[in-house]
Amino acid sequence: FPAVNGQPEKWLGGTDIEIPKSGLSWFINAIEQKFMKTEAEGGLKREVFTYSTVIDGEKLVVKRQFGVPGYGLMNFNRKEYVFNESPQLAEFTDQMLFENGLLDELKLVAKKIDNGEL
């Protein structure tokens, strides 16, 4: 994962994931509207830790991760390149997304996509 706003100073590793362009806005909305809200506010039920949809024929899933808290984004229609068996998965820690500003950077990219700039 690349540094965001200079934090961390080095790359931590990374992974490849391919999703339809509109999938980025969906991923952001899933976190903000489904995982960060109560069921009464339109969020997921307490015991639900995944949320999925199909965009342009590709099944995307967001999952809440534990251990190192964060979120995973999976594309079940594309296989990872190394083992070619598992769905593609990108994992983002809460620290990366919220404390280091990655979610805000993703929002800027999603806005450009939604405006037809990318």
Strands 58-65 and 87-93: unpaired
Strands 70-79 and 50-55: unpaired
84 band by pLDDT with thresholds 50, 70 and 90: confident
Separation CA 64–CA 31 (nearest Å): 9
Residue 114 has pLDDT above 90, yes or no: yes
What is the predicted pLDDT for the residue at 16?
76
89 band by pLDDT with thresholds 50, 70 and 90: very high
Q: Where are the alpha helices (DSSP H) in the chain?
A: 22-29, 94, 102-114
pLDDT tens for 22-77 read 999 999 999 999 999 999 999 999 999 999 999 999 999 999 999 889 999 999 99
DSSP string for residues in 50-78: EEEEEETTEEEEEEEETTTTEEEEEEEEE
